[in-house]
Structure 1
């Protein structure tokens, strides 16, 4: 049956052309990725660039500068994408971004209500920034344009656009998970946000679980009704109707292969040569409390403690670039990770080698691709995650004849479809340690079978297929 599996993957790999839109596609996100400034890492930047090419697209976001409030958009054209860049005054930006977006919405949506930090004026700043973007988008929007809003930074943007007379199709894609109703209701602005969400025509989320949670929240808080429709839910609430559906985002396997075709960066090449005769594990995450890095390190420590001789034949590489250093919870998780790493190195390391390598700086995409390809095991074990593209990138980077093993948290959005990974609960330290041992002992035949299934998911959820699914939702709206 191997030929049949390969035939299915070949068919899934065929490129998909999205439907032709009558107007332009206008994307709105907190940041943009301009070619002149270098390609930004991450699924959002990659996906939006793909979607906007060939669609007379516009991509509107923060400029990265702190000018005066009310400034006009700065327009830049690169190829067939026009970038609209908006300055945001420094104090307003801090309260909107580090304040409400990342100290309230981010922890709450990742079901970490205990980490929410509220400051007076943060929601007002969030509202002000959404209004500023609405002013600019409304000024340039034309009939038949589709406005595609991205992520938790702009939950209330559609309502602001409707107030400014925009009556075309407006869609939202939420890249992070959506919390259960009992957690979302803790938000004082829950009703305000749900009413604003009802102004969207379509809302895409990463998983079927997130779609069900969002539909339940909107119906319950808005005293509305839920119906199944077009592979998702149609919610009638606050006098509006919104379609909610899971649209799992993916990666682009050919871009991973293109990175692997390039020479290894010298530092990566030296490292992979040094570790060639050892069992190699890898984790690639921003240093974020949602990623479960402390629990992952504890599981690795437990694995080594069960047989200390493993330290000489195993190495775990954790790449964890620092992020949002102005938010207190991120400083706390950094301290915890560095403390655990130091303990592991101190207990199990030697003069010549260490079983753990921790980097808190970025590694470029080519380097990461080669590290993924050269690792026997990938640990993708977040406490909560919208999707986690590292899981898909790891699979795409593997040698089909001798693939590695993916250890995947049940709380990563990717786990909903990537069921042939070794699925773990990141709260179960002993269970994750056993998964490392199972990965070490897994026969090549089983690894290849699991890889074929996982690669099928990677191909079915490629970025071009994700774009196609989202565009079809807009056309049907």
Structure 2
């Protein structure tokens, strides 16, 4: 393989230091691209009056990025529409929020065709192509139509919905059919892999054996490949100057109270409303604990043009206001609700200062915040991770306090348990989780997927036999 070509909806700015605000996926992909002299292609985030396919190249820290501008109609229909108002809610089991509009599907297809036309001249014969996420499901098929013979892999960073939910998508069969253009498809968990395979088996008559999904004369290798973080780097970040400064700032601000922290994009899939209600129940049922604890919720806004995101922001502000109005005192506010993001080194200090990490999405492909929280802890006095059973990370981080995020009772009980947990048990749980995120880190993730993409043998975890799985 001469290079790795990564294609994704957005291309992150390549930074040299660890203190930037890049997300976990951006950090992971940047590392893979450096290793393979890579090219990262995608949308610039900018709007143009007319799509020309003109590419803006930049090279920094060993990685070349190539971006194109999209027309306003493309953004409205492909990104705001099909990606974020159709696929995102559907893939997170929120059929009630999914909007099925024909122009959205047409815009999604048109944008992927434009991406294929633009990136194809940049691809060299020996390149391996790694397409990222639900924005670009048909891209592999579009590249094949244009004569691309390279190995092409696809990785889904969200859940894949059960068969009967996916059938609510009018073009579900057509969308799934395009995915047989890929050589390898990766999922964070066996559950998401099984859901995809079941759709092909029960709706199209495919077969699945030894990790290979077949439909007619076509086949794909399916791979469970949970993404990790750079555990050592993040642990070092938590011991760094900025993190230590933040740690001291938070300790002074906490005034000897236990801090519970949540860090999430402002998104309905993250379960923030249910989280606030669980915390409210804890306050109501534990009056003696009220002024001994507070919740810091960091929730930077996203996708502000989508109505569902506007609604959740209003709802959260309402709940936070009600809880604070009911329980706050002159020298204590139970919820600190912050609507902007922070650099990774600042967050590392926040995580290290927290007694509890509250990570309770209603449905999540992985959730790297859970892993970052663990990596940032003081080994001699670690905090406790409370984690949703419905996050992909729960498969690996079994020593967290696992909860049903829909149950305010379970969340309230877990907070009480975490606050009372002895130091010895906190250390035992933390060690087990830290060992996992250290062993199955971002290097393990990218090597596991690229090995499969190159057709090399990859050890497979034990998976369910589809024939024995009850139809969902």
TM-score for both structures, normalised by structure 1: 0.92
Query: Unpaired runs of 5+ in structure 1?
Result: 1-21
Residue-by-residue CA offset, 1:286-317 (whole Å, 9 max, x unaligned): 01000001111111111110122322111110
Residue-by-residue CA offset, 1:205-228 (whole Å, 9 max, x unaligned): 111111111111223333211112
State the shift of 1:128 in Å. Answer: 0.8
Q: Which residue is 2:73 aligned to?
A: 91
Do 1:272 and 1:371's aligned partners in 2 also have CA atoms closer than 8 Å?
no
Q: Which residue is 2:284 aligned to?
A: 305
Do 1:280 and 1:375's aligned partners in 2 also have CA atoms closer than 8 Å?
yes
Do 2:243 and 2:350's aligned partners in 1 also have CA atoms closer than 8 Å?
no
Do 1:198 and 1:242's aligned partners in 2 also have CA atoms closer than 8 Å?
yes
Q: Which residue is 1:5 aligned to?
A: none
State the shift of 1:184 in Å. Answer: 0.8
Q: Which residue is 1:171 aligned to?
A: 153
Residue-by-residue CA offset, 1:245-264 (whole Å, 9 max, x unaligned): 11000111222233221234
Cα distance in 2 for partners of 1:195, 1:238 equals 11
Q: Which residue is 1:318 aligned to?
A: 297
Residue-by-residue CA offset, 1:227-277 (whole Å, 9 max, x unaligned): 12xxxx211125310011110001112222332212348776433312151
Alignment partner of 1:363 is 2:342: yes
Q: Which residue is 1:106 aligned to?
A: 88
Do 1:417 and 1:457's aligned partners in 2 also have CA atoms closer than 8 Å?
yes
Q: Which residue is 2:62 aligned to?
A: 80
Do 2:242 and 2:346's aligned partners in 1 also have CA atoms closer than 8 Å?
no
Alignment partner of 1:223 is 2:205: yes
Q: Which residue is 1:55 aligned to?
A: 36
Cα distance in 1 for partners of 2:143, 2:283 equals 55
Residue-by-residue CA offset, 1:167-202 (whole Å, 9 max, x unaligned): 110000100111111101111110111110111000
Q: Which residue is 1:12 aligned to?
A: none
Local SS of the residue matching 2:454: helix
Q: Which residue is 1:252 aligned to?
A: 230
The range that moved more, 216-225 or 124-133, is: 216-225
Alignment partner of 1:122 is 2:100: no
Local SS of the residue matching 1:64: strand
Local SS of the residue matching 2:47: coil
Cα distance in 1 for partners of 2:311, 2:46 equals 28
Local SS of the residue matching 1:282: strand
State the shift of 1:72 in Å. Answer: 2.2
Cα distance in 2 for partners of 1:161, 1:169 equals 11
Cα distance in 2 for partners of 1:310, 1:69 equals 58
TM-score for both structures, normalised by structure 2: 0.93
Cα distance in 1 for partners of 2:217, 2:205 equals 10
Q: Which residue is 2:352 aligned to?
A: 373
The aligned runs of 1:372-391 (5 Å cut-off) are 372-391=351-370
Cα distance in 1 for partners of 2:249, 2:406 equals 34
Distance 1:75 1:133, change over 3 A: same
Cα distance in 1 for partners of 2:162, 2:15 equals 41
Alignment partner of 1:185 is 2:167: yes
Q: Say which of 378, 385, 389 aligns to 1:406.
A: 385
Kindly report the root-mean-square deviation, in angstroms, between the aligned alpha carbons of the 2 structures. 1.6
Alignment partner of 1:270 is 2:216: no
Q: Which residue is 2:189 aligned to?
A: 207
Do 2:14 and 2:63's aligned partners in 1 also have CA atoms closer than 8 Å?
no
Query: Unpaired runs of 5+ in structure 2?
Result: 457-472
State the shift of 1:431 in Å. Answer: 1.1
